[in-house]
Amino acid sequence: MNARHTVKIFADGADLAAMRKLAADPLIQGFTTNPTLMRQAGVGDYETFAREVLSVVSGRPVSFEVFADDLDQMERQALTLASWGPNVYVKIPVTNTKGVSTVPVLHSLARLGVNVNVTALLTLPQVEAAGEALSRSRAACISVFAGRIADTGRDPVPVMKAAVECLRRYPQLELIWASPRELLNVMQAASIGCHIITVTPDLLKKLSLVGKDLDQYSLETVKMFYEDGQKAGLAVQLPETVRA
């Protein structure tokens, strides 16, 4: 089984040049970004950036996030973002910064026909609440940050498997394995039936390693260490007795 063909891969980032290059790759089936990634990429004008992204992604799904903290303002921003293109999914955080659930916003946007991507979920109860809120939506995604679950020392796979089962009753909803930490996560996502995984450019570069012969990889690693040592001019001065 080739995991790359059983789970959809969405490129995660905000570097427009990189997104333009990835848009030419048929393996990439969608794009996601967020305010943190945009800040790191130096994005200053949100709408200009978004419209440039939309011009290069060839109609594939792309997620843009609201940045309001008030629930009413979130909804207004969501409607504006959605108006930028039919392939826009509006990212709504699972709560605001005060911990207030955004379920009312999800309900409203679902009724209005907005494609939603609920983001920053880490628990199964959050998935259940989001799924119910979006049960009448025409299309939506639920992003569980599996990588952040793993960062706490917990295995994210049981949570993600349970999330897949939870969402089976809503065929229009897709589960996203967000914030992966290693290429193995792509295989894990595929094995449990997760619909989508977001992958950074650094991880995308490693996809060619899937199925690589481990003996060959071991030899290549040895050669890399040797060649880098030579290039760095590293040396060990041996005692005279040893040299003799």
User: Which residues are the active-site residues?
Assistant: 91
Which candidate, 137, 160, 60, 77, places its Cα nearest to that of 93?
77
CB of 192 closer than 8 Å to CB of 160:
yes
Q: Which two tokens stand for residue 144?
A: 């569980």
Largest CA distance in the chain: 84
Rounded Cα gap, residues 30 and 129, in angstroms: 25
**Non-local CB neighbours of 84 within 8 Å, separated by 6+ positions:** 47, 50, 51, 54, 64
Backbone φ, ψ for residue 191 (5° rounding): -70, -25
Q: Which amino acid is at 101?
A: S
Burial class of residue 183 in the structure, from the number of CB atoms within 10 Å of its CB (0-12 exposed, 13-18 middle, 19+ buried): middle
β-strand 140-144 against 173-177: which pairing, if any? parallel
User: Taking the C-alpha atoms of 213, 219, 221 and 225 in order, what is their torsion angle to the nearest 10 degrees?
Assistant: 180
d(Cα 121, Cα 129) in Å, to the nearest integer?
11
Q: Which residues partner with 142 through β-bridges?
A: 118, 175
